[in-house]
């Protein structure tokens, strides 16, 4: 039957050039698809990420050149029918092609990587360049960010949204409250583990302003994939006014939102959360002082809208499985909405 006829040589087989093209292009498809964006190491916005980016492309291009060379030799060897070579020529081929060439290439790549290292870990060999300015603690499943007191700058705590001045090096003390997490801002640099009982030091120097994303890079439980933070790199003047606003208490609560504030305290939210300038000084959960000014809720999981805030308060576990905050499904919707309205005004 015609339908069962074997495919002809011209339609049923991939010819070698097609296979070679596919083999060349396929490995590039994945990295190219992530070439830009707020979480791409290939779109660097920091000194450290720039060094990693350069190292990656040197390795990639070097690897592609060598791969092409080896494939060309393979094709040549497969197509030509040379006379057998002498033992002396064969030994030379192995010595130069199999020993000297790989050793030289690996040595050059190692030398380049070692030369780059001071840019990736600037304090290596020279000791820390200064005291940590921000303490970042990984918690299941959010980020506690404590801005330490500096000259003329009061300390304060915030959560899940990191702000940094552009063109300046910031030193982080990385810690973990429960299990191992990993702190990574691909566009700026990193990554480094956050280990319980240990303080790791990392420093980053953003080179342009913008909003970026940092994921948790170490499996830490059921909501590991829902543990991210936003990074906003700002001009120094904007950063200073942001810091001053964060550290300041809140002005009086508008009349319309006072019911929500009262419910916040009556239902015990203040036992776990802090709001600067109020009686809420809980340290268990994220600081809520300026929660309305953050771009996301629940560590990068939800966009910051009143509906999402109410949704998270009602049943946090439905948004982030394994989260430690209890559900408040027993509260009337109107009370949750009132609490969300109060929090939604804290900017």
| Nearest-angstrom CA–CA distance, 286 and 88 | 72
Min CB(86)–ligand CUA separation in Å: 60
Min CB(219)–ligand CUA separation in Å: 6
Residue with Cβ nearer ligand CUA (227 or 297): 227
**Does 145 engage in binding with ligand CUA (CB under 6 A)?**
no
Residue with Cβ nearer ligand CUA (55 or 298): 298
**308-317, long-range: CB within 8 Å, 24+ apart, which pairs?**
309/340, 309/343, 309/344, 310/336, 310/337, 310/339, 310/340, 313/339, 313/340
Residue with Cβ nearer ligand CUA (138 or 344): 138
Min CB(218)–ligand CUA separation in Å: 5
**Does 138 engage in binding with ligand CUA (CB under 6 A)?**
yes
Residue with Cβ nearer ligand CUA (314 or 320): 320
**Contacting residue, 53, 144, 169, 181, with ligand CUA by CB under 6 A:** 181
Residue with Cβ nearer ligand CUA (119 or 222): 222
Would you state the torsion angle of the CA atoms of residues 177, 200, 142, 302, taken in this order, to the nearest 10 degrees?
Answer: -170
| Length of the chain as a residue count | 347
Min CB(187)–ligand CUA separation in Å: 19
Residue with Cβ nearer ligand CUA (44 or 190): 190
| Nearest-angstrom CA–CA distance, 294 and 302 | 11
Say if CB 213 and CB 300 are below 8 A apart.
yes
**Contacting residue, 133, 134, 141, 158, with ligand CUA by CB under 6 A:** 141
Min CB(195)–ligand CUA separation in Å: 12
Min CB(136)–ligand CUA separation in Å: 12
Which contiguous run of DSSP H or E holds residue 182? Answer: strand 181-185
| Contact letters for ligand CUA, residues 189-228 (x by CB under 6 A) | ---------------------------x-xxx---x--x-
Min CB(225)–ligand CUA separation in Å: 8
User: What is the number of other CB atoms lying within 10 angstroms of the CB of residue 93?
Assistant: 11
Cis omega (within 30 of 0) on the bond before 121?
no
**Does 134 engage in binding with ligand CUA (CB under 6 A)?**
no
How many residues bind ligand CUA (CB under 6 A)? The answer is 9
In a 3-state reduction of DSSP, which class is residue 195? coil
**Does 280 engage in binding with ligand CUA (CB under 6 A)?**
no
Min CB(25)–ligand CUA separation in Å: 33
R_g over Cα of the chain: 28
Would you state the torsion angle of the CA atoms of residues 312, 318, 324, 327, taken in this order, to the nearest 10 degrees?
Answer: 70
| Contact positions with ligand CUA (CB under 6 A) in 31-70 | none
**Does 298 engage in binding with ligand CUA (CB under 6 A)?**
no
Q: What is the DSSP string of 200-241?
A: EEEEE-B-S-EEEEEEB-S--STTGGG-EEEEEEE-HHHHHH
In a 3-state reduction of DSSP, which class is residue 30? helix
Report the interface residues with ligand CUA, using CB under 6 A.
138, 141, 181, 216, 218-220, 224, 227
């Amino acid at each position: 039957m015609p339908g069962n006829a074997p495919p002809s040589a011209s339609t049923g087989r991939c010819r070698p050039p097609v296979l070679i093209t596919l083999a060349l292009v396929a490995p590039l498809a994945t990295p190219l698809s992530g070439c830009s964006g707020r979480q791409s190491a290939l779109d660097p916005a920091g000194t450290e990420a720039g060094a990693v980016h350069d190292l990656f492309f040197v390795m990639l291009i070097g690897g592609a050149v060598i791969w092409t060379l080896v494939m060309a030799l393979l094709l040549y060897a497969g197509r030509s029918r040379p006379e057998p070579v002498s033992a002396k020529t064969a030994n030379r081929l192995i010595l130069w092609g199999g020993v000297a060439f790989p050793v030289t290439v690996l040595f050059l790549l190692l030398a380049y990587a070692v030369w780059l290292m001071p840019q990736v870990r600037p304090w290596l060999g020279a000791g820390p360049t200064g005291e940590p300015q921000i303490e970042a603690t990984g918690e299941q499943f959010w980020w506690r960010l404590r801005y330490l007191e500096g000259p003329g700058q009061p300390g304060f705590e915030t959560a899940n949204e990191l702000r940094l001045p552009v063109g300046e090096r910031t030193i982080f003390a990385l810690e973990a409250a429960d299990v191992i997490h990993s702190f990574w801002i691909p566009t700026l640099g990193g990554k480094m583990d956050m280990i319980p009982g240990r303080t790791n030091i990392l420093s980053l120097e953003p080179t342009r302003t913008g909003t970026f994303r940092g994921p948790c890079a170490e499996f830490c439980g059921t909501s590991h994939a829902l543990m991210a933070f936003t990074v906003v790199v700002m001009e120094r003047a904007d950063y200073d006014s942001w810091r001053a606003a964060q550290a300041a208490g809140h002005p009086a609560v508008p009349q319309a939102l006072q019911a929500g504030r009262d419910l916040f305290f009556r239902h015990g939210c203040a036992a776990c959360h802090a709001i600067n300038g109020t009686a809420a000084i809980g340290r268990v959960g994220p600081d809520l002082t300026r929660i309305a000014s953050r771009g996301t809720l629940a560590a990068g999981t939800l966009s910051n809208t009143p509906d999402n805030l109410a949704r998270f308060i009602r049943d946090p576990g439905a948004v982030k499985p394994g989260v430690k905050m209890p559900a408040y499904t027993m509260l009337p919707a109107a009370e949750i909405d009132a609490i969300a309205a109060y929090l939604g005004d804290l900017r």
